[in-house]
Structure 1
Amino acid sequence: MEKSATPATGKVSNHIPDDVAISILSNLPLKSLKRFESTCKSWSMLFQNPYFMKIYRNRIIQGNHSDHADASLILRHTIVLDNVVRPVVEPLFQSTLYFISGEKFENRVKLNLSLPFQVLGQDIYILGSISINGFLCLSNLLDDERKAVLWNPTTKEFIVIPSSPVESLPYRKFEAFIHGFGYDHVMDDYKVIRYVEFDSLSFYDIMSRGLSEQEASWKDVPMEPLWEIYSLRSNSWKKLDVDMSMVMSPETREETVRFYMDGMCHWWDKIEKDSDDGETYFVSFDVTNEVCFTTPMPSDIDDTFDIRLVKRQLVMLNRSIGLISYSGETNTLHVSILGEIGVKESWTKLFIVGSLPHVKYPIEAGKNGDIFFIKKDGELACFNLDTQTIKELGVEGDMSQIVIYKESFHSIRSIHN
């Protein structure tokens, strides 16, 4: 701390004017602010100070970050085909990807998906909410033909991720939930993390695979679930040694997929318990060291709302880990930020917005404080935390996705080869 002498007495003062202190503190990361709370009483009350909160919220919303500089937004719009009686080869869903821009997201440029369609069919979704070095990891929605590819829309570079050995055993059903797509900066490697479940074959499955019922029933086939990780550098899958009690059964496969930031893939999960419904945790997976860290979800979210009426979504809000909670009971939107991984107390509620009675549930954060959500009428819309205004995108939103995309000419062909 810089000391100064007063003109009248010549005494040295350690005092920093409050406005200067607040200006300095507002530029610190949340982790540091939480640790400095015990320094003095005024610092412990920072998050009750309206002036400080206004400055700090603006920094979170408007901060300049390299991942967002010159980044575009990709809208994935998927529709269910109307033809109920259809050939088996016809896809159930049809997806379209657009670059979107403009004050009201009115500018849309359709992406050429001919390469992904060849491998995945037309039911495409994007794993995660941000590109990595220009690459997206794409998969399909069909349960019986689940595949994944890496694709750079800028360079058109395209790599198919191979099947895992656990998929080849004929005497059990296989289902995978991809939880993350990340980059190992130490090994210059790209990795995909997934949770795999197995089940016994039905009579129809046995017949369709050309097996006899007697042969399939007596096979001693392990059914225990497992975690797997794919490495682009080795072009192979391997089993992960992580806590197998962490199991979430999402309503849709997309709900397990969140975002990559600072060398970690992040998602939320549930640790099951015999006595109740289990505890919900925020999970961070270190892509380089291949280890998991867990952070309990903030209890104040559950205490404030009737949890049965709350829709929650993890987001990356301008390089901060955010949790958006929307209460259908109070029609309010709460945004909390995580200061430090592993520390439940570092969750800090920064935004409370309401009343928003037309919101059904939030789906993603964009740039500069944009929160995308599905309206109760099924349309996709955007609420800006800074201007407090809502913009409608004019598309059906129930099967939509927003991804932050930063153009890159980086090639991964040499890694794969």
Structure 2
Amino acid sequence: MAVATFLPDELVVEILSRLPVKSLLKFRCVCKSWMLLISDPYFIKKHLHLSKQSTLFNHHRIILSATTAEFHLKSCSVSSLFNSTSTVCEDLNYPVKNKYRHDGIVGSCNGLLCFAIKGDCVLLWNPSIRVSKKSPPLNNNWRPGCFTAFGLGYDHVTEDYKVVAVFCDPNEFFSESKVKVYSMGTNSWRKIQDFPHGVSPYQSSGKFVSGTLNWAANYSVGVSSLWIIVSLDLQKETYKEILPPDYEKEECSTPTLSVLKGCLCMNYDHKRTDFVVWMMKDYGVRESWVKLVTIPYLPNPEDFSYSGPYFISENGEVLLMFEFDLVMYDPRDKSFRYPRIESGKGWFDAEVYIETLISPMKI
């Protein structure tokens, strides 16, 4: 006669917390105790921590927005892009039903994706568990030429996800840019201190690093315009400037920001022949900037620039976008390769996110 074997509860937690979200969603139906466990905030945080720390990147995915008349989103595994000869994309059922409007991807944080809707509100969405929340409207005084620069991040003190909206009016360049913060916990916007005087973000999305949101921004000095990095501490809600590395300013395009391996990166074109990526290994310490990689341009650089970088593998291979397609560059042998994606081609926006159980409906 077979003897039933029972695993200790602690071992069950350790096993389940390492599984993909899709499996966990199915396993909620196994029994009531598993359903309660997988919905428990402690388990959700543990699963998030292990997913972020995994060196296999099995929980990392990239969302791709297609270059079609209709708004169409696909998602595929980052690990598959790097390690497989062919990758299968799955269609994502975007929660906002307006197929002819293209909402911009603001960013991702702990599995939550943020989309800007007409510059007046945002959508927080976890596609892994198919749960979303739409913010109230900003109700800014829109005029021709105005735009809103958003950013999504996490306040570890209050354990709240926040979206920051910087309202920019080029018609009043020397005035402060108005700033509002959306709290997922309260589902409301509130005003905070304006952006520093004379500073205007020219990169629409803030990059989340070490509890801060960071924008590349213009800084007016007399008749001249310089660029700086403006950092907003999400817990203190105060600003500071982050100094860039010492680079060849006169021979480079205006820098943009990105995040790789949890570090802030600065990217720019150099003489239209190379794409240069710097990484700040110790956030806020200027001396920690290192030139991470220099990527030569493919043909026709005058027509297209690289987008990204979106991801870097353990061996240093970099994932970018060029001419509406994903491309990988390996600095070891200075080679390029195009990942083959089944039933998918032609992208204009992308964002890497992690599969988690974090819900935008509750904290």
TM-score normalised to structure 2 length: 0.70
Residue 152 of structure 2 corresponds to which residue in structure 1? 181
Residue 163 of structure 2 corresponds to which residue in structure 1? 192
Q: Aligned pair count? A: 297
- Output the CA distance in 1 between the equivalents of 2:271 and 2:63: 26
Residue 338 of structure 1 corresponds to which residue in structure 2? 280
Q: Which one has the largest radius of gyration?
A: 1
Deviates most, 186-195 or 359-368: 359-368
Out of 389, 396, 400, the residue aligned to residue 346 of structure 2 is 396
Please tell me the residue identity of whatever aligns with 1:74: I
- Output the CA distance in 1 between the equivalents of 2:198 and 2:52: 32
1:115-130 equivalences in 2 (<5 Å): 115-117=95-97, 122-128=101-107
Q: Does 1:73 align with 2:73?
A: no
Residue 291 of structure 1 corresponds to which residue in structure 2? 238
Please tell me the residue identity of whatever aligns with 1:266: N
Out of 114, 128, 132, the residue aligned to residue 154 of structure 1 is 128
Shift, 1:314, TM fit: 1.8
TM-score normalised to structure 1 length: 0.61
Aligned CA distance change for structure 1 residues 413 and 286 (closer, same or farther; 3 Å) = same
RMSD of aligned residue pairs (Cα, Å): 3.3
Q: Does 1:227 align with 2:179?
A: yes
Q: Does 1:236 align with 2:210?
A: no
- Output the CA distance in 2 between the equivalents of 1:312 and 1:393: 27
Aligned CA distance change for structure 1 residues 225 and 355 (closer, same or farther; 3 Å) = closer
Gaps of 5+ in 1: 1-63, 82-92, 201-222
* Alignment check: 8 A CA contact 2:147 2:167 kept: yes
Q: Secondary structure at the residue paired with 2:221?
A: coil
Q: Does 1:316 align with 2:295?
A: no
1:132-281 equivalences in 2 (<5 Å): 132-140=109-117, 142=118, 146-164=120-138, 166-167=139-140, 175-197=146-168, 225-245=177-197, 247-248=199-200, 250=202, 255-276=203-224, 278-281=225-228
- Output the CA distance in 1 between the equivalents of 2:63 and 2:85: 10
Aligned CA distance change for structure 1 residues 123 and 370 (closer, same or farther; 3 Å) = farther
Report the identity percentage.
20
* Alignment check: 8 A CA contact 1:363 1:372 kept: no
- Output the CA distance in 1 between the equivalents of 2:170 and 2:207: 29
Gaps of 5+ in 2: 1-50
- Output the CA distance in 2 between the equivalents of 1:71 and 1:318: 14
- Output the CA distance in 2 between the equivalents of 1:322 and 1:198: 27
Please tell me the residue identity of whatever aligns with 1:231: S
Please tell me the residue identity of whatever aligns with 1:325: Y
- Output the CA distance in 2 between the equivalents of 1:233 and 1:371: 36
Q: Per residue, is there more strand in 1 or in 2?
A: 2
Residue 107 of structure 1 corresponds to which residue in structure 2? 87
Residue 75 of structure 2 corresponds to which residue in structure 1? 98
Residue 364 of structure 1 corresponds to which residue in structure 2? 308
Shift, 1:280, TM fit: 1.0
Please tell me the residue identity of whatever aligns with 1:367: I
* Alignment check: 8 A CA contact 2:132 2:360 kept: no
Aligned CA distance change for structure 1 residues 173 and 356 (closer, same or farther; 3 Å) = closer
Please tell me the residue identity of whatever aligns with 2:336: I
- Output the CA distance in 1 between the equivalents of 2:167 and 2:211: 23
Shift, 1:367, TM fit: 3.3
* Alignment check: 8 A CA contact 2:328 2:338 kept: yes
Question: CA-to-partner distance for each residue in 1:302-345, whole Å, 9 max, x for gaps?
Answer: 15xx23xx36332222222222232244x223222224444444
